[in-house]
């Protein structure tokens, strides 16, 4: 997570909100449930690095994966876990 939100364009957004990568990670860790998948099957056709995201979501019995990653979004769903954009996630939460 640190690698992703530490990317220049995301770190800049955090700074504009008077936040930081470290603060965002700290706040996220208070909400997150850490899981350790027993296996990481090969399921994302175009990006094997994304297989870890799927494995964690399935292991943690997640309802949603919220992502901007095109390889994950192209899948749409895996083993009952929906893969949606931030906008779609907000719409689901707002209309729930």
Query: Which tens digits make up the pLDDT trace of 12-62?
Result: 999 999 999 999 999 989 998 889 999 999 999 999 999 999 999 999 999
As given in the structure block, the two tokens for residue 43 are: 């399921």
With 80 as the cut, is the pLDDT of residue 90 above it?
A: yes
**Crossing angle of the two packed helices 8-16 and 21-31, in degrees rounded to 10:** 90
pTM: 0.77
Domain locations along the chain: 1-32, 37-96
With 80 as the cut, is the pLDDT of residue 9 above it?
A: yes
Tell me if 19 sits within 8 A of 10, measured CB to CB: no
Predicted pLDDT at 96: 75
Closest CA to 68 of 17, 13, 31: 13
Tell me if 84 sits within 8 A of 62, measured CB to CB: no
Predicted pLDDT at 1: 84
Confidence of residue 82 (pLDDT cuts 50, 70, 90): very high
């Amino acid at each position: 997570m640190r690698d992703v939100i530490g990317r220049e364009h995301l770190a800049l957004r955090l700074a504009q909100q008077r936040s930081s990568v470290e603060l965002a990670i700290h706040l996220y860790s208070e909400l997150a449930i850490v899981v350790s998948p027993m296996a990481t099957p090969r399921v994302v056709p175009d990006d094997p690095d994304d297989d870890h995201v799927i494995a964690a979501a399935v292991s943690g019995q997640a309802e949603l994966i919220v992502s901007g990653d095109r390889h994950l979004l192209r899948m749409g769903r895996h083993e009952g876990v929906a893969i949606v954009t931030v906008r779609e996630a907000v719409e689901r939460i707002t209309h729930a």
